[in-house]
Structure 1
Amino acid sequence: MTETAARAFDHLVLPAASLDTARDRLTALGFTVAPTGVHPFGTQNCCIYFADGTFLEPLAVGDATQRDAAIADGNVFVKRDNDFRAAQGDDGFSAIVFGSRDAAADHAGYVADHLSAGEMLSFSRPFVDTSGKEDTASFRLAFAVAPSLPARFFFACERMNAPAVDRSALERHENGATRLLGVTVVSGDPAATAAEIAQIAGAEADSEGDSHQVSLPNGCIDILDRKTYAGRFGIDPAIDGAGFVLVSVGVDDVKAVKALLPMRGISSRLVGGGLLVPAAPGQGAAFFFEETE
């Protein structure tokens, strides 16, 4: 991007074959999962909201006819989701989303920098809180793609209308989760991928040894080669080729999460000061729980 102000994380998109599977898995991990949200173009979600304003968006296809019509109409969000599923399967981690104050300006910048993934998208959908109160959420999106990550995508999300509902109950989690800390990406050329992501985010890329990082106002994106990732976390990336492989979540107490998960039949292990949960159906990526101050 031509601007220099780094964009913050807004949310992450985690495709799922079934929202029921995603809801069951994420609830077992100790998250509070929001009621199903329905998009006007065939997809639906069941989000996990954090107290810092970020969230995770498990995404499934709810109406294939609407989806196909949206793709034919040039809806970039639905097309990229459909392309991801065709290439990678129905479960995974497809998009990193940044907050935006002006999606139109972001789109113009992506076009000028030859990073645009297609036309902007504006839409609204109902939002329901835990008490059943409903309001309308409206968004405007500008899309980008990194050449070294062709099956994934990025977008800047401008929240045009924040629903007047109480989200606090949805932001309290049994596992003590409070915020999105970061994302880990694997790439055959981490330096090049870091430079591309930094340009999309309007941020700077830094490197230290085999680790490359893009720092954002509210988190960071680590870019590693497959060998470095396996050495750091003790598992191989659960994807073929380059892509998004791990979500770091801040929690109050890692030991409490470690005690909770075996009761749910979920395997985990300590890695450094954090707790690693490998990817599973409905989860989208590996999760890494870290304590925050």
Structure 2
Amino acid sequence: MPDSVSPRQARPVDHLVLPTASLDLARERLHSLGFTVAPMGRHPFGTANVCTYLSDGTFLESLAIGQRETCERAAIRGNVFVARDQAFRFRNGDEGFSALVMETEDAKGDHAAFVKAGISAGKILNFARAFVTPDGTRDKAAFRLAFAADLRAPDVFFFTCQRVNVPDVDRSVLQRHENGVVAIREIVLSETNPTDFQYLMQEVVNERDVNAHSFGMDIRAANANIAVLTPAGLEAFFGAKAPLGERGLHLQGIVFAVRDLAHVEGLLSGNGVAFEKRGARIVVKPAAGQGAIFAFEA
């Protein structure tokens, strides 16, 4: 197994990409779930997003097509981010959960490691975009991305994100959420035989240790658990069904850590959001503007 970093140090989860047909719809749905949502951002390659920032440094990126012609030109020119988004929407529709993103301080080194490991999804992407806080403060954020994927799993991709320029703005107001969410505790994927993708996940997370169990496998990132569950595991833990008869990884859900689970229950009930209590978790099934299972636990 190649050593991209020696000794290995597991990467942290940086953010999660949730395609949506409408940023307005995503904002409305996230507000109903008790999240604070940042103002819209635009990418130079035609996509647009609204982000939900958490106090653990992670965030959700609700992603929409802003300018279709610009997106198509970018994909033709080799922009992996846009090309994979287009492929996901073609196969799955405009709502879903498409990418798991890991934090890095060396995207160029990650790209070289992904190429060596045979999992590179294409060339590095460098870009910058404007950043605006709710009070109107403006700055520019710059990023460098290195991509990984597996041809056996066309509906999910991975990349590491190097924050080349971090906006000098106070995000604390954006990190306070009515539902009391403070962190991402777990990211959930499904696959009939999870260990078929053990090598890929080890390289993406940069962690060799894997806990295999009867419902799948867990691999620990620096700040969250990543679970790849069998269809039986997905149904047992989240009451959800994996795509029938389909092989390949599918991103399914996000488990959030909250301060007070009873408060979440009351908030969801008051906002008319359907949910299910499963053990120590509250589980909300995907809906328009919410492309993944959202689970909350204390």
- With the shorter chain as reference, the TM-score category is over 0.9
Please, which of 30, 36, 48 is the counterpart of residue 34 of structure 2? 30
Structure 1 segments of 4 or more deviating over 4 A? Answer: none
Deviation of 1:147 (Å):
4.3
Please, which of 114, 117, 125 is the counterpart of residue 118 of structure 2? 114
Output the CA distance in 1 between the equivalents of 2:151 and 2:12. Answer: 21
8 Å contact kept, 2:193–2:216: no
8 Å contact kept, 1:115–1:200: no
Alignment of 1:263 onto 2:270: yes
Aligned-pair identity in percent equals 42
**Letter matched to residue 13 of structure 2:** F
Q: Cα 1:238–1:248, aligned 2, differ >3 Å: closer, same or farther?
A: farther
Deviation of 1:69 (Å):
1.1
Residue in structure 1 matched with residue 181 of structure 2 by the alignment:
177
Q: Show CA shifts across 1:158-182 (max 9, x none).
A: 0000001111100000000111111
Unmatched tracts of structure 2, length 5 or more:
none
Residue in structure 2 matched with residue 212 of structure 1 by the alignment:
217
**Letter matched to residue 88 of structure 1:** N
Alignment of 1:286 onto 2:293: yes
Q: Cα 1:266–1:240, aligned 2, differ >3 Å: closer, same or farther?
A: farther
Deviation of 1:92 (Å):
0.3
Alignment of 1:149-228 (within 5 A): 149-203=153-207, 204-228=209-233
Q: Show CA shifts across 1:101-152 (max 9, x none).
A: 1000000000000010000000000011111100000000000013442221
Unmatched tracts of structure 1, length 5 or more:
none
8 Å contact kept, 1:22–1:281: yes
Alignment of 1:64 onto 2:68: yes
Deviation of 1:196 (Å):
1.8
Q: Cα 1:123–1:239, aligned 2, differ >3 Å: closer, same or farther?
A: farther
Q: TM-score, normalised by structure 2?
A: 0.95
**Letter matched to residue 203 of structure 2:** Q
**Letter matched to residue 227 of structure 1:** A
Output the CA distance in 2 between the equivalents of 1:108 and 1:198. Answer: 16
Q: Show CA shifts across 1:225-270 (max 9, x none).
A: 1122112222323787340101111111111001111211111121
Q: Secondary structure at the match of 2:236?
A: helix
Q: TM-score, normalised by structure 1?
A: 0.96
Q: Secondary structure at the match of 1:10?
A: strand
Q: How many residues align?
A: 291
Output the CA distance in 2 between the equivalents of 1:209 and 1:238. Answer: 19
